[in-house]
Amino acid sequence: LSALSQRPAASPDLPPRYQPLLTGNRLALARAISQVEDAAPDAVAILRALYPHSGRAHIIGITGAPGTGKSTLVTALAQHYRQAGLTVAIVAVDPTSPFTGGALLGDRVRMRTLSGDPGVFVRSMATRGNLGGLSQSTGDVVTVLDAAGFERILVETVGVGQAEVEIVRTAHTTVVVEAPGLGDEVQAIKAGILEIADLLVVNKADLPGVERTVKALEMMLELGRGGPRTIRHHGVLLQVDAPLAQPTVATTWSIALLKTVAATGEGVAELGQQIEAHRTWLQASGELTQREQVRAAQLLENILRAELNRRLLAQLPATSMVELVEAVRQRTVDPYTAAHQLLAAF
């Protein structure tokens, strides 16, 4: 496997029990991911040791409304990559149906080709509500898989809510999956998919109504063209508000619209090609560097915020905290004044 040769042989700072993940041991990898996902005691040591080995994978976000066929598409795409000799990790975030019990098991032919293949690793995450946030732990899990040498990482998320947008910002290429029917064209506009989509896929192209959906999306793309794409980042460490320069071939990316039948694999090779084209464009245009800057700033800010918060709360005098909470409840003090009183000691 090409990924195996890419893997670092050892990482001195990685706790010994996780070392085998660097040489393809799946149990060690699964354990490391569990630690990271649960923010367990070994998580920081693992991420510290592995971060320098990450940064080689191409990370692909696959998002869209429930039931549009994302898992089926991810499975087909993984198979496509395997045929091309690339290793693949799949992360399904908050799957509404268990990934391995749903589409994957339902499709026995594909399943046979993926299961038992050391070049494929599948992981489901049900993390919503965890401390540290969905996007944080997903990003950390992706870092572990990246360091473990997987060349393509597919992250499936449901919907296009704020949490998904956060995850998508950590991806290199974002694929938004639509399907015919359900008035999804209106839904798509509402959710502002143009902001996050690099590629738009109309899956279930074998179903009636597909042309109507394609037309609606084409119209939306036409309307959306011309405006510069901006990477938004509202943190304090990095103010990235740099619209891509003049609309030349090299500096802009036109969102591609594709049709697929994930169930049969139709159109999946073309999707794979478009993802590679986007990857090439990212590198050539300098956009990759820009996106990675945003990602680095986000990582750092999240860690800082959590750590500062922890330190601050640990140092606050417990009694005055309790008293102030009570005072705020009784409305004898407003929460702003209370917070300032507590912070006055620092």
Ligand X SMILES: Nc1nc2c(ncn2[C@@H]2O[C@H](COP(=O)(O)OP(=O)(O)OP(=O)(O)O)[C@@H](O)[C@H]2O)c(=O)[nH]1
Q: Provide the binding-site residues for Mg ion, judged by CB under 5 A.
A: 70-71
DSSP state of 154: E
Partner from Mg ion, ligand X, none contacting 63, C-beta within 5 to 8 A by type: none
Question: Residue 235 Cβ, how far from ligand X at the closest point, in Å?
Answer: 30
Tokens of 229: 């794409």
* Spatial separation of the C-alpha atoms in residues 171 and 275, rounded to whole Å: 12
Which of 29, 262, 271, 275 touches ligand X (CB under 6 A)?
A: 262
Query: Is residue 158 part of the contact set for ligand X (CB under 6 A)?
Result: yes
In a 13 Å sphere around the CA of 17, the CA atoms on its Cβ side amount to 9
**Partner whose binding site includes residue 261, from Mg ion, ligand X, none (CB under 5 to 8 Å by kind):** ligand X
Contact yes or no for 71/92 (Cβ under 8 A): yes
When CB distances are held under 5 to 8 angstroms depending on the partner's kind, the choice from Mg ion, ligand X, none that residue 220 binds is none
207 near ligand X, judged by CB under 6 A: yes
97 near ligand X, judged by CB under 6 A: yes
**Residue 214 C-beta: closest distance to ligand X, Å:** 14
70 forms part of the interface with ligand X (CB under 6 A): yes
CB of 31 to Mg ion, least distance (A): 25
The kind and range of the H/E element at 59 are strand 58-64
Cβ 102 to ligand X, closest distance in Å? 5
Q: Between 70 and 278, whose beta carbon lies closer to Mg ion?
A: 70
Edge-first strand order for the sheet with 152-158 is 120-125, 88-93, 152-158, 58-64, 173-178, 199-202, 256-259
How long, in residues, is the chain? 346
Counting Cβ atoms within 10 Å, is residue 288 exposed (0-12), middle (13-18) or buried (19+)? middle
State which of residues 83, 96, 162, 273 lies at the interface with ligand X (CB under 6 A). Answer: 96
Say which residues have a Cβ less than 8 Å from residue 295's Cβ, sequence separation at least 6.
Answer: 139, 169, 170
Residue 340: closest CA among 318, 316, 319: 316
72 CA to centre of own chain = 18
Determine which residue in the list 102, 209, 224, 235 makes contact with ligand X, applying CB under 6 A.
Answer: 102
The answer to whether 103 contacts ligand X (rule: CB under 6 A) is yes
Q: Is 61 in the site for ligand X (CB under 6 A)?
A: no
State the residues that interact with ligand X by CB under 6 A: 66-72, 95-97, 102-103, 158, 203-204, 206-207, 261-263
